[in-house]
Structure 1
């Protein structure tokens, strides 16, 4: 049985790497067909006002996401200060965006929180609740957008607006089911693959939903502003939501190339390639790279603070 389990794990890992290689080949092949001088011209043509507005929305999104772990603090009752929790969440999120969930969202949280005195069970519960908050808002927002604002798909695609509405209804149903579970099974603890997950109160669930939906909406707003509002906001938001899931499925760090491929596939018949890629390059700079630089400095400061706390505990115990 152990050998079969090991063989299955190896097969899944090989399939993941094969899929990653296929995506990489497709991205490289697509990159060779792009007129990069046109992309740079489009990037330079974005007005300063649009860049500043997009930067403000990006900062708002990162600030809002940094509060997600405060909900986990409320659920677990740990005593780290709000500023400390938000700093850890921001660092983890910035590294998650650029290096992937396992390195950023998971590894950084475990390292930083454990150095700040939290045990692994508490960290796991905080992390799980934060991830749940993020994807709950995604389900409901994507469901609403696909149901009520279906995007104009390329003419050669087999799926039409009706197919998107059905998908949206399924996503909405999943979100509503979670809210119903919170109303019925309040403060219930579930065992999922050996980890505990608490069902929050309905009030907390509504707060999760509102915070996450606003965060995803802000991210869509960043790209919409950088595209200089040439397309309806719901349509840009819908494409961004599709790209977000595509990036998670492919396991490409930062969704590099995946985000661009999705936008080109779904909006390439509406806007020139150069316009789309120029806006997406600006988006990566504002939402991924600049926060990463800030997070790297904050990480060093947090490590130093954690070391001082540890040295203080050692001194007190002597």
Structure 2
């Protein structure tokens, strides 16, 4: 049975979808399907392949999250198993929404079969989430400092605020690295006891987190037309803002949130071209992995059922 907090976040997610879709309709109600089709057909085969390669890179980085967490726990599990578990977890969570299906169920079922305790799995889930958050802080900080005028696309403020926020975010990352280097006292949240990882583990986190975000943003970048393209750093910055809003809204798949944010932040590009790029992103990053993850879950549950009945 779902907890009251689960119902609340589900309702918030649905409300975010409804509001975003309403705002999106206001932006695109004059757009024809022919325009959208022409924008999709205008994407070259080379760029389709580059977008597909970026998708593979993003899911490789997500699997690396689990591998880093397991290294922190001192556990050795085959790379193939980790990859399938991570792929399934994120493919389901990205589409269904963290408020409804957090992915914790998949990890719990999978890693329990490899002998991990519930406490270890809980720490693994926290560690993977923290790696993503760390990657977001680092990537956002670098973009805000290197591209300070980018903030004007999403808010009516000066570039100085962008640099200030960027330096603050980078300072948080530096503090985490310092804590690992000097081995600060462990964090304690209720029953969760988290020690600072070894510096080598932190180094891998600082590579894996940004890598996943860079590759995910690259899917959209490669699908956008060359003419009027604002550049990869701008696309990355808008992606970070829109993806963060989508996560905060708990909207399944960021439905409507990504589209509204990108359309508002990229007025120099035709609406049809922006929507076409986001369709490519949804197909490669969300829908195809979602379909494949369902097959992985069915295969895993079938193998577990056969194993129990043989015993």
Is TM > 0.5 for Structure 1 vs Structure 2? yes
Unaligned runs of 5+ in 2: none
Match of 1:84 among 74, 78, 81: 81
Deviations 1:182-228 (A, max 9, x none): 11226x54222432223101221111001111221111211111113
Indicate the residue corresponding to 2:282 in structure 1: 284
Match of 2:48 among 48, 51, 59: 51
1:16 is aligned to 2:12: yes
1:250 is aligned to 2:238: no
| Residues 282 and 204 of structure 1: CA distance in aligned 2, closer, same or farther (over 3 Å) | same
CA shift, 1:241, in A, is 0.6
| Residues 156 and 171 of structure 1: CA distance in aligned 2, closer, same or farther (over 3 Å) | closer
CA shift, 1:309, in A, is 4.8
Match of 1:128 among 115, 126, 129: 126
Indicate the residue corresponding to 1:96 in structure 2: 93
1:220-239 to structure 2, matched below 5 A, reads 220-229=217-226, 230-239=229-238
Deviations 1:40-91 (A, max 9, x none): 2211211111111110111121122112111111122334322212211110
| Residues 15 and 49 of structure 1: CA distance in aligned 2, closer, same or farther (over 3 Å) | closer
CA shift, 1:259, in A, is 0.6
Query: Matched residues in 2 for 1:142 and 1:59: separation?
Result: 22
Query: Matched residues in 2 for 1:76 and 1:106: separation?
Result: 17
CA shift, 1:150, in A, is 2.8
Higher relative contact order (CA 8 A, sep 6+): 2
**Aligned-partner SS, 1:67:** helix
CA shift, 1:288, in A, is 0.9
Deviations 1:89-134 (A, max 9, x none): 1100111111112414323222333344432111101111111111
Match of 1:109 among 107, 110, 118: 107
Query: Matched residues in 1 for 2:66 and 2:81: separation?
Result: 10
| Residues 77 and 303 of structure 1: CA distance in aligned 2, closer, same or farther (over 3 Å) | farther
1:144 is aligned to 2:132: no
| Residues 302 and 287 of structure 1: CA distance in aligned 2, closer, same or farther (over 3 Å) | same
| Residues 10 and 67 of structure 1: CA distance in aligned 2, closer, same or farther (over 3 Å) | closer
| Residues 168 and 303 of structure 1: CA distance in aligned 2, closer, same or farther (over 3 Å) | same
Q: Is the 8 A contact 2:152 2:158 kept in 1?
A: no
Q: Which moved more, 1:135-144 or 1:106-115?
A: 106-115
Q: Which moved more, 1:30-39 or 1:10-19?
A: 10-19
**TM-score of the pair, normalised by structure 1:** 0.86
Q: Is the 8 A contact 1:151 1:235 kept in 2?
A: no
Task: Tell me the C-alpha RMSD between the 2 structures.
Answer: 2.7
**Aligned-partner SS, 2:194:** strand
1:25-40 to structure 2, matched below 5 A, reads 25-40=22-37
Q: Is the 8 A contact 1:154 1:267 kept in 2?
A: no
| Residues 154 and 198 of structure 1: CA distance in aligned 2, closer, same or farther (over 3 Å) | closer
**Aligned-partner SS, 1:80:** coil
Indicate the residue corresponding to 1:41 in structure 2: 38
**Aligned-partner SS, 1:135:** helix
Query: Matched residues in 2 for 1:274 and 1:303: separation?
Result: 42
